[in-house]
Structure 1
């Protein structure tokens, strides 16, 4: 393709409509091509008028419509990238936002090379990621159902005398409860059945995740990550499904930044100010990491289940997992001893855990792709 003939096209994509803007090489301002219904054949006709696959480079922001449009355009031969919205250049004084302005800005920024494309999973990887997120949604729903049941019991002054809620003993206690009023008993039964249904749903999705990993191209990575404390097969699948190919990160710090686990910073001159973590990037993976980091508050040990998971792993990976456990448990205890707030401790440990995850994943990847 001759560079002088290239046309950069920006799409502002919504559920029902797509706004199209274009910018050609040079310094001339981009222009609005028009707006069409969200329909791939109609969009293809518009792109053909601008030069077709040989000339057109298409970009649009990641959003709720997913990657279907990108895959459809790629199948027709178009070079199409999905852009990270959080990394779009913004003018501080710009207070006007419309679809027409957005599509032109995308085209102009693409021409200037100012955009960052997101990683696009293949359909099978995305399907496993959807399954992992469905389980995460099921856990959130179950938590709400449990809270509703406990609120009902509190209103009726039914108090559990044991120490741990939602244990086998707690479930037996719930099964023995009775209420004098028929309406109250009916309400309790509905709450109780909803909790049981939520438990069954989480179990089904957890088993589906375990089954889905068999034969997956990242199966070896999922197995290797279980050498790290706090990461079982379900969490490992979730992390790999969200992050994808670890070899695309040249250094663990880039993975930490991708997950939003690095501190924000505002520095000027000789003054350096660091704040809370950026929380950019993938929130699902970040949540899994902070949950795993909480397990490092205990003393180092390898339990029976962990030993079973690690039996078939290489010695180098098992050694790295033990090294991570020794370092992170010591780090957790040191930060707590300094009086650091516990949530900050978990985030700090999660950030270091990310580095070990990166190292383990690279060792376990059968054929790492070229790093970008």
Structure 2
């Protein structure tokens, strides 16, 4: 087994499929191993490239296998699919992973650290709670609307206790049983809101402890949510050649469909991490509003205000999100705060 060059692993929960090839692409072995057998087997192999698809538990196994002295590589699933021959099964998946890893042009996914995954988990839970809070609030307003009572939109009505006074005023109209159902919804909304506030405090504590996040917050439209999300997603900024490549990786650049020397640019690609892209768009929307309310002499503010007047608010917001992504890459790559 000293001639092994690449080992492709098809990850699973309990049974893993391995496919090893030499430097000429010839198969050395193909076998199934259990979860307990994977580490001892890889520890016996000479130092080589171990490739896996970027899927569930891939970052964990990449860190563990790297400690054994191997060069671990995570490949995006869409880059592996063209190399899978015939019908799909575990053996052919592992062979396709090894074949894709042998190609220098195959893109790679950066291995995330435990700190990055912790921040990602915090953002995922927070996003789920926000969706649940929105659903509960919409349900409450819809039920009251059916009884002829209109509740203003926004969180202020729910947080300041106005909803309780509104329910007390119409208790006779709503009835005791229906009022209890509405009160339960209000308590659920407020419980979700307090949990979201707790996650926001954790994000702010992360910003205070990290210089990179503090530098990111000097960029217009970047707050604690975007700063922590960008650091957890980007990791090492130098894996991108420039800010334009980072912006393209999260789908904020136009989709190209060019042929015959004629360049055709369509809507943005929406590739990559949708959460990072969505939060950058929210930050760009807030920054544009701030620029339009106050007089700003810096070029970024003047450029986006003129662009919004020429092409409209929505296109200008996407353009500003693209610019913000490129600026954030520069801030992290050169470790300096943004200067207007």
Given the two structures, how large is their TM-score scaled by the length of structure 1? 0.79
Matched, 1:268 2:259: yes
Matched with 1:73 is 65
Residues 58 and 81 in structure 1, CA contact (< 8 A), matched pair in contact too:
yes
Give the direction of change, closer, same or farther, for the CA distance of 1:85–1:232 in structure 2 (3 Å limit).
same
Q: Distance in 2 between matches of 1:223 and 1:117?
A: 29
- Superposition deviation, residue 170 in structure 1: 7.6
Residues 145 and 194 in structure 1, CA contact (< 8 A), matched pair in contact too:
yes
Is the partner of 1:67 in helix, strand or coil?
helix
Matched with 1:333 is 309
Alignment of 1:216-235 (within 5 A): 219-235=210-226
Alignment of 1:1-372 (within 5 A): 5-28=3-26, 30=27, 33-37=30-34, 39=35, 41-47=36-42, 52=45, 54-88=46-80, 90=82, 96-160=87-151, 164-168=153-157, 171-176=160-165, 177-178=167-168, 179=171, 180-215=174-209, 219-298=210-289, 300=291, 322-336=298-312, 342-364=313-335
Q: Distance in 2 between matches of 1:323 and 1:129?
A: 33
Matched with 1:307 is none
Q: What RMSD over aligned residues (CA atoms) do the two structures have, in Å?
A: 2.9
Residues 58 and 74 in structure 2, CA contact (< 8 A), matched pair in contact too:
no
Q: Distance in 2 between matches of 1:347 and 1:365?
A: 25
Q: Distance in 2 between matches of 1:13 and 1:365?
A: 40
Q: Distance in 2 between matches of 1:236 and 1:289?
A: 10
Q: With CA pairs under 8 Å and 6+ residues apart, which has the higher RCO, 1 or 2? A: 1
Unaligned runs of 5+ residues in structure 1 are: 304-318, 337-341, 367-372
Q: Which moved more, 1:171-180 or 1:346-355?
A: 171-180
Matched with 1:315 is none
- Superposition deviation, residue 143 in structure 1: 1.5
- Superposition deviation, residue 126 in structure 1: 2.5
Q: Distance in 2 between matches of 1:80 and 1:26?
A: 19
- Superposition deviation, residue 354 in structure 1: 1.6
- Superposition deviation, residue 112 in structure 1: 2.8
Aligned residue pair count:
330
Q: Distance in 2 between matches of 1:14 and 1:344?
A: 42
- Superposition deviation, residue 116 in structure 1: 2.1
Residues 7 and 98 in structure 2, CA contact (< 8 A), matched pair in contact too:
yes
Give the direction of change, closer, same or farther, for the CA distance of 1:9–1:121 in structure 2 (3 Å limit).
same
Is the partner of 1:275 in helix, strand or coil?
strand
Residues 22 and 108 in structure 1, CA contact (< 8 A), matched pair in contact too:
no
Q: Distance in 1 between matches of 2:23 and 2:158?
A: 70
Is the partner of 1:86 in helix, strand or coil?
helix
Is the partner of 1:81 in helix, strand or coil?
strand
Unaligned runs of 5+ residues in structure 2 are: none
Give the direction of change, closer, same or farther, for the CA distance of 1:67–1:110 in structure 2 (3 Å limit).
same
Give the direction of change, closer, same or farther, for the CA distance of 1:147–1:6 in structure 2 (3 Å limit).
same
- Superposition deviation, residue 207 in structure 1: 0.2
Given the two structures, how large is their TM-score scaled by the length of structure 2? 0.86
